[in-house]
Chain A
Amino acid sequence: MSQESGARTLISQAQLRRGKGRFVYWTLLTLVVLGFTLAFVGPLYWMVTGALKTGQEIAQTPPTLWPKDPDFSNYTDAWSNLNLAKLLFNTFYYAAGAVLFQLVLDTAAAYALSKLRPILGNVILGAMLATLMIPAIVLVVPQYVTVIDLPFAHVNMLDSPFAIWLPLVANAFNIFLLKRFFDSIPDELMAAAQVDGAGPLRTLWSIILPMSRPILGVVSIFAVTYVWKDFLWPKLVMPSPETRTVSVGIYAFSGGSSMNEIVAASVIAAIPTVVIFLIFQRNIMSGLTAGSVKG
């Protein structure tokens, strides 16, 4: 996003400033702003206000733009009938744990691969990156079988938050992002710390991590939104009503509840990620392009 406003693009600045170009530009800009607002926020508006309508009003043709008599009962009913407080708490708990596990284990691994470089490090990195090529759906069944009877330990991890946390540590994309960031930190800084007698852990903690705040932020935000958005895996490994995530809980109730109640619950479930996005949009957008374009 670091483009100087003067950079030449498809159409030259001069052309846009001239009479006809200027008119076309402003018309287009207005159309795009209006059109995009309608296309991307319009459905959300429809969702939020639709859930404020009564069952009769939502079935009425033509639909009303604003509820005649805003009625919050769909939201309050959804909150109590679906036990949304519990579902939201569960999801938040899984997201927080996922951040913690990813930050600790993936950071340590990326640090080892980038700076400590033990033997076979590159082989391990290659094996990790190779997992990016495996489609997630192919792994679902054997991963499930592994989780219900963990090899050697013979533990059933169903309904345990570790069934969400630990598989998420196996995230090659995170390790790749972190390693590349650590690679850009000069080794001389580490050598200086070593001369001062700092061990690898201390170097990581007091030199590498403070310099890596932006990338750690990106990894954390992605972990939270990933857990919040994920559906199939939590549906499989968190089968009990008490351990469900919010998306799975809403889905489980979608058959028996009124349409408006389900949409109201969907609105409530979407609020945390949208808020996170609006707060951290800069980090999210830069993280997204950092991982995929340059390389």
Chain B
Amino acid sequence: MATMTAPGKTEQPARQVPAPRSGARRSRKIRDNLTGHAFLIGAVLCFAVFTWYPMIRGIVMSFQRTRRGVTTWVGWDNYTRILADPSFWPAWRNTAYFTLLALVIGYAVPFFVAILLNELRHAKGYLRILVYIPVMLPPASALFLFKFYAYDPSDAGLFNAILRALHLPTSQWMQSAEATMPAMVIASTWMNMGSAVLIYLASLQNIPGELYEAAELDGAGLWRRIWNVTIPQTRLILGLLAMMQIVATMQVFIEPLILANGAGTEDSATTVAYLIYQHGFFQNDLNGAAALGVIMLVALAAFSAVYLRLTTKND
């Protein structure tokens, strides 16, 4: 994130021996600048063609319509068509629900796992490797495992077998509209939590031990120490990861695609990202997909702005 960089952090000492005459110095300077830009050109071209230009193109496209190779300006037509799609509101509702559930499950769990791991003095390396292994699996592989073995709705499925062994009611998982979202969030959290755990662990290790010492001397119990020392000391990274996680989960795509064959039962799994994919690549409606993309961009930008405003106000 751009906000994390500290521009001007490094000093910039004079790097050249001054040339004797000003004309020579100027031509030297021009040559140095040209060399610098020559080193930059490859990456800059890639950014220009594959990120900067598509960003503008996406906005332009959302106001155009291409039919049989002819592109015309159509004003807000794409937006009204997307808004009229019966899946539009379910998609936003599902995406919001997924994001919320992922925040409740997927956000708190890694933090507490990191606190727990930070207290253990043994098997540190082993436990770190364990939590990070799922991050390294190709998501498609991991999701097929969940789909076929874990979320098998019969009693032969892994989760149902465990639930039965514990004498708990079994679930239809992806076949039930209510269980679809929680099941997707569980799979997604399992796959992704490793990175968050490791980032939290690194920031927990930067907390000075004296703070805990002092809190303990003041009679603070375990929970008070977590609440009054650990959380305030890691607040920055907690806030940053919350925002990054929300922005990432709002784009949830592969989980519904593989686990729920895209839409799930009764649109229970359709997400905004999946709807973009549907419009763009199945309904031959790239313009509508671009319009939905712009709506997504505006929604996420608004969210980020509000979030940053709220979290920085406390400082």
Binding site for B on A (CB under 8 A): 1-3, 5, 7-12, 16, 28-29, 32-33, 36-37, 39-41, 43-44, 46-47, 50, 58-63, 104-106, 108-109, 111-113, 115-119, 121-122, 124, 126-147, 150-151, 166-167, 169-170, 172, 175-176, 180, 183-184, 187, 190-191, 194-195, 199-200, 225, 228-229, 231-232, 236, 246-248, 250-251, 254, 259-260, 262-263, 266-267, 269-270, 273-274, 276-278, 281, 284-285, 288-289, 292-293, 295
Contacts and interface: CB of A to CB of B under 8 A. Distances in A.
Interface in B193-213: 195, 198-199, 201-207, 209-210, 212-213
A32 B120 contact: yes
B199 A292 contact: yes
B1 interface: yes
A132 to B, nearest CB: 6
B51 A139 contact: yes
Contact of B36 (A8, A121, A135, A259): A121
Given A40-B130, A59-B154, A225-B136, A263 B144 contact: yes
Given A166-B46, A190-B15, A142 B54 contact: yes
Contact of B247 (A115, A135, A190): A135
B123 interface: yes
Given A126-B2, A142-B55, A170-B51, 16 more contacts: A10-B225, A12-B213, A33-B123, A46-B149, A47-B149, A108-B40, A129-B5, A138-B294, A141-B280, A170-B46, A176-B5, A200-B35, A229-B136, A229-B138, A254-B258, A285-B198
A141 B132 CA distance: 31
A7 B272 CA distance: 46
B143 to A, nearest CB: 9
B96 interface: no
B297 A228 contact: no
Contacts of A43: 145-146, 149-150, 158, 190
**Which of A116, A126, A247, A293 has the most chain B CB within a 10 Å cutoff?**
A293
A119 B293 CA distance: 34
B61 to A, nearest CB: 6
B199 A46 contact: no
Contacts of A3: 205
Given A9-B212, A247-B141, A130 B47 contact: no
B32 A167 contact: no
Given A124-B44, A142-B54, A277-B132, A293 B137 contact: no
A165 B164 CA distance: 48
Contacts of A59: 154, 156
Interface in B105-146: 115-123, 126-134, 136-142, 144-146
Contacts of B230: 10
Contacts of A236: 281
B246 to A, nearest CB: 11
Given A126-B2, A229-B139, A263 B42 contact: no
Contacts of B33: 118-119
A263 B12 contact: no
Contact of A141 (B61, B127, B141): B61
Closest 3 A/B residue pairs (Cβ): A8-B209, A118-B36, A109-B43
15 contacts: A43-B158, A105-B46, A116-B32, A118-B37, A122-B7, A128-B47, A132-B2, A138-B55, A139-B51, A151-B49, A231-B138, A270-B137, A270-B142, A289-B199, A289-B201
Given A11-B222, A139-B54, A61 B138 contact: no
B6 interface: yes
A187 B130 CA distance: 41
A183 B240 CA distance: 24
A264 to B, nearest CB: 10
B290 to A, nearest CB: 5
Contacts of A5: 121
Contacts of B206: 293
A175 B304 CA distance: 23
B123 A29 contact: yes
B37 A141 contact: no
Which DSSP category, helix, strand, loop or mixed, fits chain B's interface?
helix
A8 B51 contact: no
Given A7-B209, A122-B7, A247 B115 contact: no
A129 to B, nearest CB: 4
Interface string B10-31: 1011011100000000000000
Given A12-B213, A61-B156, A117 B237 contact: no
A135 to B, nearest CB: 5
Given A32-B116, A247-B141, A273 B202 contact: no
A180 B18 CA distance: 27
B100 interface: no
B183 interface: no
A201 to B, nearest CB: 8
B102 interface: no
B245 to A, nearest CB: 12
B138 A127 contact: no
A266 B136 contact: no
Nearest to B195: A288
Nearest to A267: B141
Query: Quick one: which of B17, B119, B216 has the most chain A CB within 10 A?
Result: B119
